A and B are shown apart, each in its own frame.
Chain A
Amino acid sequence: MNRVSSWGRLSDAEHSVVAITSAADAPAIIASTAPGIARGMERSYGDVALNAGGTLWDMRPLNRFLAFDAESGILTVEPGVLLRDIQATFSRQGWMLAVTPGTEIVTVAGAIANDVHGKNHATRGTFADHVVSITLVRTDGEVIVCGPDDEPEGRGWFEATCGGLGLTGLIVQASIRLKRVPGPWLLAEDVAYQSLPEFFELSDSSELSYEHVVSWIDITTGGGRRGILSRANPAASPHRAPPAAGTPLGAAAGGITFPLVPPVSLVNTLTLPLLNRAYYRLKRAGVGSKVVHYKPFFYPLDAIQEWNRAYGPRGFYQYQCVLPRESGLESVREILRLVARSGQGSFLGVLKTLGDREPLGMLSFARPGVNLTIDFPNLGASTLVLMASLDSVVAEHGGRLYLAKDARMPASLFEAGYPRLEEFTAYRDPGISSELSRRLLGS
């Protein structure tokens, strides 16, 4: 048995970790060790890839590229391949992932199972929009190959599996379509904003001419009075060498690691407003456009390995919601007001708009609207109470929470936020179960 925590470090339970070392052996292994759930890099924040006391199928050993077609950009991989390896390998050849989340230290199967999105949702949608084919192995031995064009049956499996939290079967292979880029560079610009209406205006106008748009918001100010919007487009920059931070494949050789778990969270009511103000001043001083490598733009936090330790031994929650655009200004303002009044929260506040497209996956998160993300150090009951109050705002405005980040939402909010839940249930593999599935889906 092994102790396993997810990124939020809220628990540390024993699991029986079973390495999946070949796709060919996978059916026999999962049949004999079910029920279980697949795990990758454990970058999800809550319990989507935890199964306390039970089996975790460790997909990380299946980390090989299987084929690449340089004409179509279609890359076929084993499920445990890291987005980091794809970006590093193919950015040199003029290709990158069309959609990437805020960390590249996640597996392809994890990106599919949580149907992640990035800073370019308006133009590129979610990760699933670029998946061409998935091979699933079920615990009864059945092998299912499905894709977006396999009408109608395969399409159903595909929509259930993208964003399906690993519950429809074990993903043992996937093909994804990369997008052409001029190289690993982006022309990026930071712009400061001083109010929420200003944010929406700036974000909308930015989306007309920039592929990537995201903003950092100071969540200590109540009304959203301080923020920095970052926007970028792919750029060719032949005259610069890549950053020297270690070799791309040997993550251990690059970056720095948060050295220890401090006895109390370093992010607390004393440090929080100071950190936020300092960050704002720092960024505001540097506004303007510059050519940057994709790593600091897409993955700023990856530069500090194990940054999640900063929140101390009790871990932290990440609250990520999407709220319909129509009432987005009021709902975001209300949430920020509640957060500021509580004195809780952190340095990490992300505000961004999501494009006007319904996601492909039955349980995918990224619906049209405005996305707000806030980290909360775990202070116990007071943090849970605060998040419950945020839940009521989300519910009232018809929004939903991101399952990849969740460790505590009530089933009622889940059911209200995910209208295709019932459709999804038919595709579940009865031999697959996670803490999240038991908490929110009843089994």
Chain B
Amino acid sequence: MPATASTTASTWPTDLVIVGATSAIAENCTRLWLEGGASRALLIGRDEAGLDRIATDLRVRFPAAAINTSVTDLLDVPSITSAVQGFAGPGTPGAAAGAGLTVLIAHGSMTDQAESQADLAKAASVLQVTGVSPSLWMEACADTMTAGTIAVLGSVAGDRGRRKNYIYGASKGLIERMAEGLQHRLAASPLNVVLVKPGPTATPMTAGMPASGLAPVSAVAADIVKGVNAARPVVYAPIKWQVIMTVVRLIPRPVFNRLDF
């Protein structure tokens, strides 16, 4: 077991379910979890070729682990229900794994704010893919799982609405309220809910942005894995964003609305 597992009072998962497994952050987290000893991973997504490439990579890296894929429409309610039943319902290996099951819900769509503003259909799609769908996956997991961890990728963009990304930010804000509510509901249960808030990360999704402000995806994933294993309710990755966003949230509205960022 790696140092991260032995030095904190955290559980290293045995079973992984990664929803939106082709996201770069999710892929890096999956590698780290398998590296640290997880023995099974189910990769869920809508891009079959992408899932296959990641599964092949993981099988070469971790020949002893069982890697499976499932092509699923992430937005379709019956598909969500049956997928969650399939991996965490009674009699499944996920249910048998108990506290060893970690589900990471990672999908989202970072469409440009200007495009979403100009086209209501695009705005609807961002809200749907980035906000509503992950929320429904969380809800379905919370209703089915009895132990383990549900982790969901929110964003620092969800901490305060800004003109530069409020449609994406609002979707991530929805996830935050869902996570908060589920944490309240499950406070006495062995099922943990972790809200992850990555800062801007260097991934293919952000390839066009200035690289200087972007954290390396491997570093972000390492922070996420550590925080999720420790079942911390809110995980900022990198941690500096906790301080930055606290300041940002505290700026009085009249001042904030005059700032250009």
A residues in contact (CB < 8 Å) with B = 2-4, 17-19, 21-22, 24, 58, 61, 64-68, 75, 85, 89, 93, 244, 246-253
CB distance from B137 to the nearest CB of A (A): 24
Known contacts A67-B60, A68-B60; A252/B211 CB under 8 A: no
Assess the A249–B210 pair: CB atoms within 8 A: no
A3 to B212, CA, bound (A): 8
Write out, one digit per residue, whether chain B residues 30-67 have a CB within 8 A of any chain A CB (1) or not (0). 01100110000000000001100110110011010000
Residue of A nearest to B211 (CB): A2
Q: Which one, A4, A65, A93, A246, contacts B56 given CB within 8 A?
A: A65
Q: Is B4 an interface residue (CB 8 A)?
A: yes
Residues of chain A lying within 8 A (CB to CB) of residue B136 = none
Q: Please tell me which stretch of B157-165, B214-222, B246-254 contacts chain A, meaning at least 4 of its Cβ atoms lie within 8 angstroms of it.
A: B214-222
B24 within 8 A of A: yes
Please determine whether A249 and B56 come into contact, CB atoms closer than 8 angstroms. Answer: no
Tell whether, in the assembled complex, residue B35 and residue A19 are in contact, meaning their CB atoms are under 8 Å apart. no
Given contacts A19-B207, A61-B207, A247-B32, 11 further A-B contacts (CB under 8 A): A3-B211, A4-B211, A19-B204, A64-B57, A66-B57, A66-B60, A89-B61, A244-B3, A247-B2, A252-B216, A253-B4
Chain A neighbourhood of B32, CB < 8 A: 247, 249-250
A81's nearest neighbour on chain B, judged by CB, is B57
Q: Which residues of B contact A21 (CB under 8 A)?
A: 204
Interface centre among B50, B204, B209 (most CB of A within 10 A): B204
CA distance A437 to B219 in the complex (A): 34
Give Cα A65 to B54, complex, Å. Answer: 9
Main secondary structure of the interface of A (DSSP, over half): mixed
Tell me the complex Cα distance, A89–B211, Å.
28
- Whether A247 contacts B57 by the Cβ 8 Å rule is no
Q: Are A250 and B221 in contact (CB under 8 A)?
A: yes
Task: Say yes or no: B56 contacts A247, CB within 8 Å.
Answer: no
Q: Are B222 and A64 in contact (CB under 8 A)?
A: no
- Whether A65 lies near B222 (C-beta < 8 A) is no
* Inter-subunit contact A251/B210 (CB<8 Å): no
Residues of chain B whose beta carbon lies under 8 Å from any beta carbon of chain A: 2-4, 24, 31-32, 35-36, 49-50, 53-54, 56-57, 60-61, 63, 203-204, 207-212, 216, 218-219, 221-222, 225
Q: Chain A contacts of B208 at CB under 8 A?
A: 17
Tell me the minimal C-beta distance from A119 to chain B in angstroms: 26
**Nearest CB of B to A273, in Å:** 36
Evaluate contact between A61 and B210: CB separation under 8 angstroms: no
Contact call A247/B36, Cβ cutoff below 8 A: yes
Residues of B within 8 A of A249 (CB): 31-32, 35, 218
Q: In the bound complex, how far is the Cα of B50 from the Cα of A246, in angstroms? A: 29
Known contacts: A21-B204, A244-B3. The answer to whether A250 contacts B60 by CB under 8 A is: no
Q: Which of B49, B61, B219 is in CB contact (< 8 Å) with A250?
A: B219
Closest partner residue, chain B, to A66 (CB atom): B56
Q: With A3-B212, A67-B60 as known contacts, state yes or no: A251 contacts B207, CB within 8 Å.
A: no
24 A-B pairs with CB atoms under 8 Å apart are A2-B211, A3-B210, A3-B212, A4-B211, A19-B207, A22-B53, A61-B203, A65-B61, A66-B60, A67-B60, A68-B60, A75-B60, A85-B61, A93-B63, A247-B4, A247-B32, A247-B36, A247-B222, A249-B31, A250-B219, A250-B221, A250-B222, A251-B219, A252-B216
Chain B residues whose C-beta falls within 8 Å of the C-beta of A19 in the assembled complex: 204, 207
Residues of B within 8 A of A253 (CB): 3-4, 219, 222
Nearest Cβ distance between residue A158 and chain B, in whole angstroms?
24
- Identity of the chain B residue whose Cβ is nearest the Cβ of A68 in the assembled complex: B60
A-B pairs under 8 A by CB, number: 75
B54 interface neighbour in A2, A64, A67, Cβ under 8 Å: A64
| A2 contacts across to B, CB distance below 8 A | 209-211
CB distance from A242 to the nearest CB of B (A): 10
A252 contacts B219, C-beta separation under 8 Å: yes
Name the CB-closest residue of B to A19.
B207
Asked if B204 contacts A250 (CB within 8 A), the reply is no
Q: Which of B3, B49, B54, B204 contacts A247 (CB 8 A)?
A: B3
Q: A2-B210, A250-B222, A252-B219 are contacts. A65–B204 as well, Cβ < 8 Å?
A: no
| Min CB gap B135→A, angstroms | 27
A419 to B125, CA, bound (A): 58
A89 to B56, CA, bound (A): 14
Is the CB–CB distance between A61 and B35 below 8 Å? no
Question: Chain A residues near B203 (CB, 8 Å)?
Answer: 61
**Bound complex: CA A61 to CA B28 (Å):** 11
Beyond A247-B36, A247-B222, whether A58 also contacts B207 by CB under 8 A is: yes
Measured between alpha carbons, how far is A194 from B4 in the docked complex, in Å? 44
Q: Which residue of B lies closest to A1 (CB)?
A: B210
Bound complex: CA A68 to CA B62 (Å): 11
CA distance A249 to B216 in the complex (A): 13
Contacts of A67 in B (CB 8 A): 56, 60
Q: B56, A252: Cβ atoms under 8 Å?
A: no
Chain A residues with CB below 8 A from B211, complex form:
2-4, 17
CB neighbours of A3 from chain B (8 A): 210-212
Among B36, B57, B211, B225, chain A packs the most CB atoms within 10 A around the CB of: B57
Closest to B205 in A: A19
> Which of chain B's residues have a CB closer than 8 A to the CB of A61?
24, 203-204, 207
CB nearest neighbor in A for B215 = A252
Given contacts A3-B211, A4-B211, A61-B204, contact A246 B218 (CB under 8 A): no
> Nearest chain A CB to B252's CB is how many angstroms away?
33
- Whether A18 lies near B57 (C-beta < 8 A) is no
- Closest Cβ–Cβ distance, residue A108 to chain B (whole Å): 13
Expressed in whole angstroms, the minimum distance between the Cβ of B208 and any Cβ of chain A is 8
CB distance from B46 to the nearest CB of A (A): 15
Report A-chain residues with C-beta under 8 Å of the C-beta of B221. 250
The minimal Cβ–Cβ distance linking B186 to chain A, given in whole angstroms, is 29
- Cα A65 to Cα B31 in complex, Å, equals 12
Most buried by B among A247, A248, A251: A247
Partner of B218, one of A4, A24, A58, A252: A252
Which B residues are in CB contact (< 8 Å) with A250? 32, 35, 218-219, 221-222, 225
Chain B residues with CB below 8 A from A85, complex form: 61
- A58: chain B residues at CB < 8 Å are 207
Which chain A positions have C-beta within 8 A of B4? 247, 253
